[in-house]
Structure 1
Amino acid sequence: MTYIDWIFLGLTLGSIIFYGIYKNRKDTNIDGYLLGNQSLPWYHVGFSLMATQASAITFLSAPGQGFTDGMRFIQFYFGLPLAMIVLSVTFIPIFHRLKVYTAYEYLENRFDARVRIFTAILFLLSRGLATGISIYAPSIILSTIFGWDITITNIIMGGIVLIYTVIGGTKAISYTHLQQMIFVTFALFFAGYLVVKMLPDDVNTFDAIQIAGKTGRMNVIDLNFNVNERYNLWSGLIGGFFLQLSYFGTDQSQVGRYLTGKSIKESRLGLIMNGFIKIPMQFGILLIGVLVFVFYLFNDAPLFYNQVEVNKIEKSPYAAEYKTLDVQNEALVTEQKNTVINLKNAFKTDNTAEIEKESKRLNEIVKDKKVLKEKVSGLIKKSNPTGDPNDVNYIFLRFIMDHLPHGFIGLLVAIIFSASMGSVASAYNSLAATSLVDVIYKTKYKPKGQALELRYSKILTIFWGIFCIVVASFAQKLGNSMIELVNILGSWFYGIILGIFIVAFYFKSIKAKPIFFAAILAQILIILIWKSEIVAFLWLNPIGVLLVLSFSWILQKLKI
């Protein structure tokens, strides 16, 4: 990065952080700190919901997901609009009417404190783990740029967000979210434009999509019903619906965003806005990754996109083995360029036989390169057991650093940072709110007086900030692309939490004790089902709901 990149980076981050703190500098009570005095309009609610999801994971891992696996991940979001409609009709009126700080307060009124605390703990676990991944994502940038140890970068990133979250509270988060989404929207359009512009002069967007299609990257919808397949139409509509319903309806990091709405109508409009904008937004981000894939078909492509790990291998006893693999990759890249040019020309002349021939060879080359990359991952594991053998999260960042113009690099890095800050800050705030209102309030240590409540909230924010930073330090050992990993972690818990709320809302005959033990049994079974790999992770959400409903009904009938 050059001086102009650092100037753009500093100005963008500084304006976002200080504006957010300035807008909420006068909050002196817990209502303002946690709910923003329920004063925000619908567009603030909508942008805040979107920004809470749009972490650095979205802008680093999602293009990498599109690059490696194509567009099929978009099916994950197909249940989102329906979930937003259901929540607008059911959950929002209940939460607003009860004037709750967190979603879990309702459960004590409906069942008892034990159910409330258990559900809150499930949320704290799921959100704390996921937030650690969200901190790890932007730390990759600092690690890549400076070659810093990932633990140091996690502390820096987690600490920066912690400062303005502790000072500003939830309204500061919402105001920074509004700015972030403006910057993000601009940057995404411009990044997509630049990728297309850097393709060969005779290759337009349609040509790029045609080429990507021949490698399977444009298979958007899979109609096959297969519970072992992670992404198809049915897992997205059914599994995704239950996951999104639980995430937005029971996860305090989201509930806390729309509880800031100044009326039921404003909160509903914010949710609906999020539901119908998120899919095209995510489609665009994945498409950028696909276009970057096509760009690297016409240009020199690294064997492994995490340069930090490559540098470590080159200084290790395995340097010669890596060099051999790199030479093989260079030969494949040269052949790949010729093949994709031939494929492009075959498309121009509509030569069907040539299209099939060159497509087949291109896919063989892509497969051979994947084998080489797997061998590099093996070298990383042998040379550096604490290293990251998966480079999917580094692909888009490497493209940015190597090929985008200076100035825009700094701006885009700042946007990735700020996106992460938005999601992490929301999580810090929701973790602190849930810990205070749903756990500590239920003990003898309940604070007395608004000043002490506010102090407890800030102390808890600091505690969860430290917890999430520790989790971030272990994130690289977990494998997977980050965008998948976060949703896998959520799927461990979301079905159970949603099942508890559905029983609370609609099965009035089921009492506290049956639902409590049903939830524990269901949670144990979900983890066992996940470990056995019987179904893809999205199906854990509806299965979790069904287990809670079934067990609680049976236990109630048995009068346990």
Structure 2
Amino acid sequence: MQFWDWVVLLGTQLFIILFGIWKVRQKSNHLQSHLLDRELSWFGVGISIMATQASAITFLSTPGQAYGNGMGFVQIYLGMPIAMIVLSATFVPIYHRLQVYTAYEYLEQRFDVRVRTLTAFLFLLQRGAGAGLSIYAPALILSTVLGWKIDIFNILIGVSVVIYTVIGGAKAVSQTQKLQMATILIGMVAAGVLIFQLLPSEISLPDALHIAGKMERLNPIDFNFDLSERYNVWSGLLGGFFLSLSYFGTDHSQVQRYLGAKSLTESRLGLLMNGILKIPMQFMILGVGILLFVFYQFEKPAIYFNQNEYQNYVKQNPAQATQLENLEKQYHANFDAKKEAILQMLQQREGEIAPQTLQKLKEAQAEHEQIRNQVISTLISTPEKQADDKSIKTKRNSDLDYAFISFILDKMPIGLVGLLISVMLSAAMSSASSELSALSSATLLDLYKRNFKPQASDAHYLGANRLLTALWGLYAILFAQIASRLENLIQAVNILGSLFYGVVLGIFLVAFFLKKVRTVPLLWAACLSQGLILLHYFFLKSYFKIEYLWYNLIGCAFVLVLAWLFNQLFKQSLEQKDEPNR
């Protein structure tokens, strides 16, 4: 990066952080600044919800997802607008009527402290890991920019986010999110426009879309019903609906946002705003990835986007250097052949495209993928994994996280590089701070205050909240250190949530709608259902494949059915013990 890039980057970040802290300066030593008063407008709620979702992962990883796999990822959001309507009609009125600070308070009123504690624990377990991914994403960016080890940046960014959250709390986060979202949207629009402008002058937007379509990147909708297929209409409408219902209805990092609204109406409007705007925003970000893909059909990309890792491997393994050099020669020849086929296809576009032209393009693209897979296999550490298709696919998807940031650093003009990196760091700061704030407040209210220190001063709880923020920051940093072993980040964060969200949602739906189910049957149902989901994902997936979006529906259904069944089986025993049915 050049001098003016650093000026833009540091200036933008410093202004946003100081603005947030200044806005809450009068309450910075009060516990309420680390919770959210009910004072946000519907627009503030909507922006806050969107900014909490829109981490650096979204803006770093989603274009790479489109670059490598096309537009199909957008199907994950098809169920979201419906979920927002359902939440506005059901969950939100209950939370507002009870005036709770966390969603899990309601569960104690309906059942007892055990259910509240279990559900809060499941939230904390997966959201703490999610915060780690939010820290890892900007660390990946800065390690690419400066060429340092990513572990260093995981620690530096994690500590910075903890300090920011401790000083400003939840209110500072909410105050800065409007600025952060504005920076994010301006930066992504600018990136899309500039990528298009960098295309060859004879390539129009219809040409670019035509190329992407013929190369199977414009595939937003898949109507095939297949549980083993990750993204299709049905997994998006059903699995995505239950994922959104649980994320926005039970995850405290989101519930905290709309519980801070002035009124029930403001909360509902904020949720509906998110439901309306989320899909277009994702289309825009994926569209940037599609333009990036087309650009790299005319401008040769690196054979492996994470050049720091690639060059370090070559230095440390000179015996493999010759093999990689040969692969690079094949890669260069393949790029020229593929580009020639694309230009032939465009020339024939006015009439009927010759079948041999499309076949030539298809073969060139297949060879491109094969060469990349050979490079990735070489970079994998152990011989066993080098022959494992799953390991190669995971590392390939992980490398896609570097596609967009590599383009920014190599091709963007001075000043805009700083702005786009600032975009991602803004998103990271917003999302990670929101998550740490939600983690510390949920731990304070649902575990510490409820179970260990029910009567203490406000100053004591403020100190405890700050300590909990630091501890969750440490947990997130430790998880960030292993994040490089996961899939493409935008997929990893949704997989992580889906392992737990279905069960948590099931607990809430039992509480809302199965009024006769009591505490013990629900606890058994929740623990058994969670165990079955984890058992399938970690041990049984190779025997019968069910993709992660379906876990949200299946986990929820398991809890509902098993809770009702166990309640019937234990009914006589429960009546003898006279367990209260709340």
**TM-score, normalization: structure 1?**
0.97
Is residue 528 of structure 1 aligned with residue 535 of structure 2?
Answer: yes
Match of 2:559 in 1: 548
Deviation at 1:45, TM superposition (A): 0.7
Aligned residue number for residue 487 of structure 1: 494
Task: Say what the alpha-carbon RMSD is for the aligned residues.
Answer: 1.6
* Letter in structure 1 aligned against 2:435: A
Residues 233-290 of structure 1 deviation map (CA, whole Å, 9 limit, x = unaligned): 0100000000000000000010011111111111111110011100000011011101
In the alignment, structure 1 residue 38 sits paired with structure 2 residue 38? yes
Q: Tell me how far 1:25 sits from its aligned partner.
A: 1.5
Aligned counterparts of 1:302 and 1:20: Cα–Cα separation in 2: 39
Aligned to 1:371: 370
Q: Give how far 1:156 is off.
A: 1.2
**One-letter identity of the residue aligned with 2:370:** V
CA contact (8 A) 1:136 1:154 kept: yes
> Deviation digits for residues 436-475 of structure 1, max 9, x if unmatched?
1111123234460111111111110111011001100010
Q: Deviations over 1:409-428 (max 9, x none)?
A: 00000110010111101100
Q: 1:454 aligns with which of 462, 469, 486?
A: 462
SS in 1 for 2:229: coil
Q: Which ranges of structure 1 fall in alignment gaps of 5 or more residues?
A: none
CA distance in 2, matches of 1:457, 1:97: 26
- Give the letter for the 1:350 counterpart: G
Correspondence 1:246 to 2:246: yes
Q: Return the alpha-carbon distance in structure 2 between the equivalents of residues 14 and 410 of structure 1.
A: 13
- On the 8 A contact 1:298/1:341 being kept in 2, the answer is no
**Residue from 324, 327, 330 that aligns with 2:329:** 327
Structure 2: gaps of 5 or more residues: 386-390, 574-582
Counterpart Cα distance in 1 of 2:129 and 2:356:
47
**Secondary structure at the residue paired with 2:494?**
helix
Q: Secondary structure at the match of 2:224?
A: coil
For 1:409 and 1:444, locate their aligned partners in 2 and report how far apart those are by CA, in whole Å: 49
Residue identity in the other structure for 2:53: Q
The Cα offsets for residues 175-209 of structure 1, whole Å up to 9 and x where unpaired, read as 11111111111111111111111111111111111
Structure 2 counterpart of 1:541, which letter? N
Amino acid at match of 1:292: L
Of 421, 428, 444, 2:429 maps to 421
The within-5 A match list for 1:510-529 is: 510-529=517-536
Q: Does 1:406 align with 2:414?
A: yes
Going from structure 1 to structure 2, the CA distance change for 1:55 and 1:16 (only over 3 Å counts) comes to same
Comparing 321-330 with 383-392, greater Cα deviation is found at: 383-392
Q: CA deviation at 1:333?
A: 1.0
2:268 corresponds to 1:257 = no
Q: Provide Cα deviations, 1:294-348, integer angstroms capped at 9, x if missing partner.
A: 101011121111111111122122222211111111111111221111112122x
Q: Secondary structure at the match of 2:228?
A: coil
Aligned equivalent of 1:395: 403
For 1:48 and 1:358, locate their aligned partners in 2 and report how far apart those are by CA, in whole Å: 49
Equivalents in 2 of 1:31, 1:350: separation in Å? 68
- What is the identity, as a one-letter code, of the residue corresponding to 1:450? D
For 1:320, the aligned partner's letter is T
Distance 2:110 2:93 in 1: 16
Q: Matches of residues 169-248 of structure 1 in structure 2 within 5 Å?
A: 169-248=169-248
In structure 1, the residue matched to 2:360 is 361
Give the aligned length.
555
The answer as to 2:513 corresponding to 1:502 is no
Q: Which one of the candidate residues 437, 443, 452 is aligned to 1:435?
A: 443
Farther-moved stretch of structure 1 (336-345 vs 99-108): 336-345
> Matches of 2:429 and 2:48 in 1, distance apart?
12
Q: Secondary structure at the match of 2:220?
A: coil
Asked if the contact 2:345/2:353 (under 8 Å) is kept, the reply is no
Query: 1:305, 1:391 within 8 Å by CA — same for their partners in 2?
Result: yes
In 2, Cα distance between the equivalents of 1:425 and 1:407?
26
> For residues 547 and 154 of structure 2, what CA distance do their matches in structure 1 show?
30
TM score, norm. by length of structure 2: 0.93
Tell whether the 8 Å contact from 2:33 to 2:168 is kept in structure 1 after alignment.
Answer: no
**Is the 8 Å Cα contact of residues 46 and 269 (structure 2) preserved in structure 1?**
yes
Which residue does 1:346 correspond to in 2?
Answer: 348
